[in-house]
Amino acid sequence: MQGAEVKDQSIGAIISASRNLSAEQVEKILAYQRSQGVRFGEAAVSLGFASTDDVLFALSQQFHYPYAPVEHARINPELVTLTHPFSPQAEAFRATRSQLMMRFYNGTEPQALAVVSPASGDGKTYFCANLAVSLAQLGGRTLLVDADLRGPRQHELFGLNNSEGLSAVLSGRATGQVIQQIATVPSLFVMPVGVTPPNPLELVERPAFGLLMREFLTKFDHVIVDTPAASFGADSHVVAARCGAALVIARRNETRVAALQELVATFEQSPAKLLGVIVNEF
């Protein structure tokens, strides 16, 4: 019981500080807590002195779990693993992460993971971003590389400067910092595309891309790579081959079976190991 009280007081202190509660408000919350037999956070929410997001934020601080309420951090709502960490969508990403930790990140030779899909709109970028966040939430240094040189979106999801990125590195024009750290998830880093090039396939076919992936694997625990849809050309196949492993994303009730089968079949002749197919239901 004493341990629970200490834990509640810690949560209470975090909520009080984040909401700038007055001594009178804190006393009202404590009185309600005692009379109703509830936790400090529940009492604060019931009295209107805090929101559910405030309680989740306090818990995340106490247990060192990155969490970013939308209204506090202006995070894109597509990043459900950050904004709604206890939602069914976030739980699905944690389940995928667990499978990868057991079957892919299990002490074997490190490889980057390319995420590919048959067509635009399958949810590949959404999947990459949230998978990267969920991996970083475990504490391992995680790098998300936007290699969709045809229609990049990762910089939009994370609110990043997109003036320089992968395209500048591959063309030998990089002059500044091309990898950016995500403030709300200290273990997460993102390399945006930068300027969209006129020759995307030629850039990823250069030896520099494969060398870059190998270099990243010496500096990061996890490297996740977003790619263009297979319908745009061979880019995703080339990127996957350089990465060494791939996941295929399909959207439920939208992805054509023939297109999915054709994409999966291409990995029979690819040096990349196909880890499986994920069906996006969100």
- pLDDT tens string 6-55: 344 457 777 777 778 888 888 888 888 888 887 787 888 888 887 766 76
Nearest to 11 by CA among 46, 45, 41, 50: 41
164-202: per-residue pLDDT in tens? 999 999 999 888 789 999 988 889 999 999 999 999 999
Q: Give the integer Cα–Cα distance in Å for 182 and 179.
A: 10
Please indicate, yes or no, whether the overall pTM of this predicted structure exceeds 0.85. Answer: no
Would you place residue 259 in the very low, low, confident or very high pLDDT band (cuts 50, 70, 90)? very high
Kindly report the backbone phi and psi dihedral angles of residue 66, in degrees, each rounded to the nearest multiple of 5, phi listed first: -60, 130
**Sign of the Cα pseudo-torsion (24, 26, 27, 31, in order):** positive
Cβ neighbours of residue 88 closer than 8 Å, sequence gap 6 or more:
none
Q: Both tokens of residue 213?
A: 């992936």
Strand partners, 223: 143
Task: Report which residue type is found at 222.
Answer: H
Spatial strand order of the sheet with 180-181 comes to 180-181, 188-191, 142-146, 222-226, 112-116, 244-251, 273-280
Instruction: With a cut of 50, say whether residue 1 has pLDDT above it.
Output: no
pLDDT of residue 49: 81
Instruction: With a cut of 80, say whether residue 72 has pLDDT above it.
Output: no
pLDDT of residue 64: 57
pLDDT of residue 5: 39
* Helix residue spans in the chain (DSSP H): 2-19, 23-36, 40-46, 52-62, 70-73, 80-83, 88-103, 124-136, 154-158, 166-170, 200-205, 207-217, 235-243, 257-266
Mean pLDDT of 205-226: 95
* Helix residue spans in 20-160 (DSSP H): 23-36, 40-46, 52-62, 70-73, 80-83, 88-103, 124-136, 154-158
pLDDT of residue 60: 61
**Residues for the chain: how many in total?**
282
Cβ neighbours of residue 278 closer than 8 Å, sequence gap 6 or more:
96, 127, 247, 248, 249, 250
Mean pLDDT of 114-139: 94
The better pLDDT of the pair 85, 120 is held by 120
Mean pLDDT of 200-206: 95
pLDDT of residue 113: 97
CA torsion 177-183-188-190 (nearest 10°) is -40
Instruction: With a cut of 80, say whether residue 89 has pLDDT above it.
Output: yes
